[in-house]
């Protein structure tokens, strides 16, 4: 398991934004993964996607690494942010924008505002 933990740690620390998900950003394999990838894609965020369905060790390893039981999991600058519900709430409250701003992550502010307007 330490090999998997090392691989996960290397991935989250070497990319600004990482989404561990079921499927890929272009072809999500579950609704929750689709929602988070959709938000990031719509906001124009460059992110690395890791398909947990392709590797059972990573699928369990990411849960152990974060001590979070569900997929998807979003990491920004090496830090675990949350899963689908948390990312949805942060998007609607503007906290995700603030997190990206604080960490120098490029995103489309107008797109973020449109998401909030559509869900107001």
- 10-52 pLDDT tens trace: 999 999 999 999 999 999 999 999 999 999 999 999 999 999 9
Residues 6+ apart with CB under 8 A from 16: 46, 47, 76, 77, 103, 104, 105
Q: Does domain 2-118 have CATH number 3.40.30.10?
A: yes
Residue pLDDT, tens place only, 72-117: 999 999 999 999 999 999 999 999 999 999 999 999 999 999 999 9
Domain spans of the chain, in order of start: 2-118
- What is the rounded CA–CA span in Å between residue 21 and residue 49? 7
């Amino acid at each position: 398991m330490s090999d998997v933990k090392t691989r996960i740690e290397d991935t989250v620390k070497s990319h600004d934004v990482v989404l561990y998900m079921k499927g890929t950003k272009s072809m999500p394999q579950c609704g929750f993964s689709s929602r988070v990838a959709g938000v990031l894609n719509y906001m124009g965020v460059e992110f690395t996607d890791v398909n947990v369905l392709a590797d059972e060790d990573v699928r369990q390893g990411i849960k152990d690494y974060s001590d979070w039981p569900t997929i998807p999991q979003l990491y920004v600058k090496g830090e675990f942010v949350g899963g689908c519900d948390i990312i949805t709430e942060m998007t609607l409250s503007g906290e995700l924008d603030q997190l990206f701003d604080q960490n120098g992550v490029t995103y489309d502010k107008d797109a973020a505002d449109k998401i909030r307007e559509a869900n107001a």
